[in-house]
Amino acid sequence: MNDSTVNSSSGVEAVTVMEIGEAGEEEGEMGTALQTLHRKRAFLEAFSETGIITAACRASGVARHMVYGWQEIDPEFTAAFHTAQSVSTELLEREMLRRGVEGVEKPRWDSKGNYIGSVREYSDNLLMFAIKARKPDQYRDNSKIEHTGSIDLGTIGELLQGHDAKRA
């Protein structure tokens, strides 16, 4: 198999994916197989940029059900799909860190609608999500439930029976 690339106009370096084969194609359908290959590549490129199946389908002209069909019959497409999904996730992570660390310039106007400058705003929430994802053992939200004593399973059974009787 030959490697090909999914290029991204969003500034992400090209991602190498396996050339996608066409499972189930009959001999003599080379034109159809080539068209399908181009459609798969167009979808994967759009999906790597958006991370949204519907948006990638719209951009590439591929019906959503085709994507799911290709995943069922073509393991190479499925692998390339997961690669494109990883690329789009990295785009989200990069944007999350940019907004949290570098901030975003927000314009400011006076009461008369005149532009008076801008303020750089940062997202503490995005940074919190980023650090929780990177170090979950240290930063995850913890809740601990401890029970001391014994549990009477007979009582629980009676409660459940009473609950079932009320529902009937």
The mean pLDDT values, 10 residues at a time, for the chain of 168 residues are 43 41 46 89 96 96 96 96 96 92 95 95 92 87 79 75 69
HSE toward the beta carbon, residue 124, CA cutoff 13 A: 0
Our count of domains for the chain comes to 2
What is the CB neighbour count within 10 angstroms for residue 80? Answer: 26
* CB distance 40 to 32 below 8 Å: no
Q: Which domain holds residue 38?
A: 3-98
Residue 165: the pLDDT is 67
Give the pLDDT of residue 30: 60
What pLDDT score was predicted for residue 109?
Answer: 95
The domain boundary, picked from 98, 122, 154, lies at 98
Number of C-beta neighbours around residue 140 at 10 A: 11
pLDDT at residue 10, rounded to an integer: 42
Same domain, 89 and 109: no
What confidence score (pLDDT) does residue 88 get? 95
Residue 71 has what pLDDT?
96
Residues 52 and 130 in one domain: no
Contacts of 130 (CB under 8 A, 6+ apart): 93, 96, 97, 100
Asked if residue 121 and residue 78 are part of one domain, the reply reads no
Q: Are residues 108 and 29 in the same domain?
A: no
Whether residue 11 is found in the same domain as residue 89: yes
Joined together, the tokens standing for residue 22 give 């066409």
Residue 70: inside a domain: yes
Residues 61 and 130 in one domain: no
